[in-house]
């Protein structure tokens, strides 16, 4: 639900959806029209279709056991590298990275990755860096902290370097201080350039 939709809006729908489908089996056995109706108002119905298809597969093939590894999760409909990493680390504590647009921007700026002509290579470097940095015992906290840092402090248009907790090791901070927002944007471009090749 949170893909492309803000938390404040999802909060209205999430409890109602869970009330209607309290178990995976309930959702798996529901007709497609009913699921779509339950999703009404949230938009992006492909998410509902993919969720429904994924849950049906989990129930049919795994007896309702949700896969815990990112590799298995990424085989389900609608789940790419980021979602697989987020579910594996946040729900199951797996020590794996979860690189969304915000995380890619933070790591790209901290490590000074540049080169718009090499976006796919740069994204591979971001994933390699993210995997190397995940602390084995606190992967969920780490991934959530990186996401929040990108969403609240190291934003695309206006990075707040003076209050940033990683300012002391950031390769881009001097550029931002010297050139302002334009320096950060040039050092690591905004969202369109940052999609994972697997999502
Ligand atoms: S110091 Fe500035 S550019 Fe570097 S990560 Fe923090 S907010 Fe972003």
Domain boundaries of the chain, sorted by first residue: 7-92, 101-193
Contact 74, 99 (CB under 8 A): no
Token pair of 66, please?
A: 């949700």
- Rg (Cα) of the chain, in Å, rounded? 19
**How far, in Å, CA of 73 to CA of 81, rounded?**
9
Residue nearest to atom 2 of ligand 1 (CA): 161
Q: Can you give the pLDDT at residue 18?
A: 96
DSSP, res 118 = G
| Mean pLDDT across 84-113 | 94
The answer, yes or no, to whether residue 25 has pLDDT greater than 80, is yes
pLDDT tens sequence across 163-179: 999 999 999 999 888 87
Tokens 């402090």 belong to residue: 153
* Residue 105 Cβ < 6 Å to ligand 1: no
* Residue 167 Cβ < 6 Å to ligand 1: yes
pLDDT tens sequence across 39-91: 988 989 999 999 999 999 999 999 999 999 999 999 999 999 999 999 999 99
Least confident of 11-20, 89-98, 147-156, 187-196: 187-196
* pLDDT > 70 in the chain, percent: 88
* Ligand 1 atom at minimal distance to the Cα of residue 165: 6
* Residue 176 Cβ < 6 Å to ligand 1: yes
Q: Can you give the pLDDT at residue 115?
A: 59
What architecture is domain 101-193?
A: Orthogonal Bundle (1.10)
Q: pLDDT-based confidence at 103, cuts 50/70/90?
A: very high
The answer, yes or no, to whether residue 190 has pLDDT greater than 70, is no
Ligand 1 centroid distance, CA of 112 (Å): 10
Ligand 1 centroid distance, CA of 99 (Å): 17
Does the domain at residues 7-92 carry the CATH identifier 3.30.1490.20?
no
Token pair of 176, please?
A: 């931002």
Dihedral-angle region of residue 13 (phi above 0 means left; psi in -120 to 50 means alpha; beta otherwise): alpha
H or E segment to which residue 192 belongs: none
Q: H helices of the chain, where?
A: 7-20, 24-29, 32-38, 45-62, 70-73, 81-92, 101-110, 119-133, 139-148, 173-179, 181-187
Pocket test for ligand 1, best of 101, 114, 152, 164 (most atoms within 8 A of CB): 164
Pocket test for ligand 1, best of 161, 175, 179 (most atoms within 8 A of CB): 161
pLDDT tens sequence across 112-149: 887 554 577 888 899 999 999 999 999 999 999 999 99
């Amino acid at each position: 639900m949170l893909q492309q939709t803000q938390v404040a809006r999802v909060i209205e729908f999430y409890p109602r959806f869970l009330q209607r489908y309290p178990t995976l089996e309930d959702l798996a056995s529901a007709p497609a029209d009913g699921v779509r109706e339950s999703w009404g108002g949230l938009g992006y119905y492909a998410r509902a279709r993919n969720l429904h298809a994924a849950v049906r597969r989990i129930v049919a093939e795994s007896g309702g056991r949700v896969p815990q590894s990112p590799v298995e999760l990424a085989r389900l409909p609608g789940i790419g590298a980021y979602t697989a990493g987020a579910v594996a680390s946040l729900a199951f504590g797996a020590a794996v990275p979860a690189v969304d647009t915000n995380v890619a921007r933070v790591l790209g700026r901290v490590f000074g990755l540049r080169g718009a002509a090499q976006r796919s290579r740069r994204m591979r470097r971001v994933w390699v860096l993210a995997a190397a940095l995940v602390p084995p015992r606190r992967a969920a906290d780490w991934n959530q902290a990186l996401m929040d840092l990108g969403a609240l402090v190291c934003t695309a248009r206006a990075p707040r370097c003076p209050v940033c907790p990683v300012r002391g090791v950031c390769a881009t901070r001097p550029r931002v201080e010297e050139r302002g927002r334009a320096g950060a944007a040039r050092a690591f471009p905004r969202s369109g350039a940052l999609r994972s090749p697997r999502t």
